[in-house]
Amino acid sequence: MGTMHYKIFRIVIDSLMGASSPWMIIPAGMYIAGLWRLLEKSGIKGWWALVPCVRIYQLGRCAGRVPEGFKACIGQLIYLIPNALAYDLMGNELLVDICTIIALMLWFAVFAYKVQVFSGLIEVYGVKRRWIWLWIFPVLHAIPAVIWGWKDEYQPEWKVDDIQRAMEHKITVGNLEAMEQGLTVNLKERNTFESFKKKTLLWDIHLYIPPGHMVLLLGGSGAGKTTFVNAINGYEKADAKVVLNGTDMYKEYKKMQYETGFVPQQDLMRYGDTVRNTLIDISAWRLPKDAAIKIRRQRVVEIMEMFGLTSIRNSQIRKLSGGQRKRLSIAMELISNPSLFILDEPDSGLDGVMARELMTQLRRAANTGTIVIVITHTPDRVIDFFDDVIVLAKDSSQVGRLAFYGSIPEAREFFGCEKMEEIVKLINQKEEGGSGRADEFIRKFTELEVQHA
């Protein structure tokens, strides 16, 4: 590549970035002036517009794209290093080539993060997406900055501090009163530690589920669905108070084990046992110790009839189909007639007919008063069985939050789409193939909750 190539590279990049170009002084001044006002509209000190590199981070805050803004800021700072080294190493063409390649890679990374920040700004201001073409080129970005900053008709839908204030208000007054019947969840946060650093997995989730409700737990990968159900049943305790039918799940954990059932994704059973013997063994563990043998056997008969297992009661588990094993897994947990029943992808690997048959059995269990919470990645084929939906989403700081809780019709109206799988796409991050609107819906639902508090 050599020194001459580096100089050509610098001319091109400086033109794109607006650096070292005298003819860019006026547009740069207009950009800073517009940015000053734009930052103030979002509740940030306008003078940050004067600080190179850091101002893209502040724009990220305005856009609800904090991680992207931070990475663009750091990338710009690091970008200066290979450039400075290249100028000092002009006599060594190999080192100049290396510095040029590194600088080019950093420039593309910063550019990609900036595009995400500007896309977020477009969503916050509710304008058409074609504005992005003005933002991404420094020779033009003074235009949207000045227009959005100085024209009163351009206003952000929310300010930077709005979400935080709403969340703090909800934390202080939003705790739900524990009900004598049903499930009351007041989860402040669920933390873990990675490399000696605290990481928040879930935060600020408050909800009440009445008895007999069948609830869909929805959310993208990494939103914290399994962490949430583990916090509810006490398997992974959080900073929370979980009350089931008037009893604190954490304080009375051993007692409440008989009141809860949990079916994980993987079957946990001995494949050499028969269906009947498996249920007899599990009844000895799941039913109270003082329950008579006759009562246990009768319950085994009832649960086999409920789940269509009577005809295969003497079959070994290894010879069962996938659907039969899944029904047996559910029967094992339902044998104690729990008040709360949680299932993690019970229809995984089942076709549509078998999935609906399975949900029919769960609906019958809910109709007896059991609270049934189901995680499934194919909700639309069985959505008519559910009463409510809980939607969890990762916010811009990668923390699982409550984006919605309510009935299925309310969810469709809230998110503006008919299918549950479309909701997941809306709240998923863009790098996960989604629309990246999690913060928007978390804020919207939080504000609604504050209004009703």
Instruction: Specify the CATH class of 164-259+338-452 in words.
Output: alpha beta
Q: Beta strand pairing status for 197-209 and 183-194?
A: antiparallel
The mean pLDDT value of the chain amounts to: 80
How far apart are alpha carbons 365 and 357 in whole angstroms?
A: 13
> pTM for the complete prediction?
0.63
pLDDT digits (tens, 9 = 90+) for 61-87: 888 788 888 888 888 887 766 555 555
pLDDT at 397: 75
pLDDT in tens, 164-219: 555 444 444 456 777 788 899 999 888 887 655 667 889 889 999 999 999 999 98
Rg (CA), the chain: 28
Calculate ∠ Cα 239-243-247, nearest 5°.
Answer: 125
pLDDT digits (tens, 9 = 90+) for 320-378: 777 778 788 888 877 777 889 898 888 776 777 888 888 888 898 899 899 999 998 88
pLDDT band at 3 (very low <50, low <70, confident <90, very high): very low
Residue-level pLDDT at 98: 67
The sign one gets for the Cα dihedral 272, 274, 279, 281 is negative
Span of 120-129, 317-326, 440-449 with lowest mean pLDDT: 317-326
Secondary structure of residue 148 in the 3-state scheme: helix
For residue 340, the model assigns a pLDDT of 92
When pLDDT is averaged across residues 401-405 and rounded to a whole number, the result is: 93
Q: Which of 32, 78, 24, 81 minimizes the C-alpha distance to 58?
A: 32
Greatest mean pLDDT among 90-99, 104-113, 203-212: 203-212
Per residue in 303-320, pLDDT tens? Answer: 788 777 888 778 887 777
Sheet containing strand 388-394, strands side by side: 247-248, 239-244, 183-194, 197-209, 400-407, 388-394, 214-219, 371-375, 340-344, 260-263
Q: Is the pLDDT of residue 113 over 90?
A: no
Residues 6+ apart with CB under 8 A from 417: 423, 426
- Looking at the chain, the whole-number percentage of residues with pLDDT higher than 70 is 81
Amino acid 276: pLDDT: 82
Is the pLDDT higher at 332 or at 420?
A: 420
Domain boundaries, the chain: 2-156, 164-259+338-452
**Closest to 36 (Cα-Cα) out of 53, 16, 59, 17:** 59
- For residue 418 the two structure tokens come to 């008919």
* Residue whose entry in the numeric block shows the structure tokens 């990374």: 109
- Total residue length of the chain: 453
Distance CA 211, CA 41 (A): 46
Asked whether 49 and 35 are in contact (CB, 8 A), the reply is yes
Q: What is the pLDDT of residue 367?
A: 92
Can you tell me the mean pLDDT for 134-140? Answer: 80
